[in-house]
Amino acid sequence: MKTETNSASVTLERLAVGQTASIVRVGGEKAARRRLLEMGLVTGETVKVERVAPLGDPIEIVVKGYHLKS
């Protein structure tokens, strides 16, 4: 998934804790992409990184007022 912060596109995994961004593209395999879209990760939506595990996975984000962990 590509996000945009201050006009620079980055992947969601590169955002720091507390940083917000707007989604500009959702990619991946068909089934995975569809599931992300169903969870509200759609183009134009704002996401905020809440927590990241010490080794970088999983990550918790807030989108549309609810928390997603992946």
CATH number at residue 30: 2.30.30.90
The pTM assigned to this predicted structure is 0.80
The encoded tokens of residue 34 equal 């569809």
What's the pLDDT tens digit per position in 9-63?
888 888 899 999 999 999 889 999 999 999 999 999 999 999 999 887 889 999 9
- Our count of domains for the chain comes to 1
Q: Give the residue carrying structure tokens 């905020």.
A: 48
Determine the pLDDT at residue 7. 63
Measured CA to CA, the distance from residue 62 to residue 20 in angstroms comes to: 9
Provide the CA 43 distance to its chain's centre, in angstroms. Answer: 11
Identify the bridge partners of residue 5 per DSSP, sorted by sequence position.
Answer: 8
**CA 46/CA 12 separation, integer angstroms:** 11
Residue 6 has a pLDDT of 61
What is the domain extent for residue 34? 2-69
pLDDT of residue 55: 86
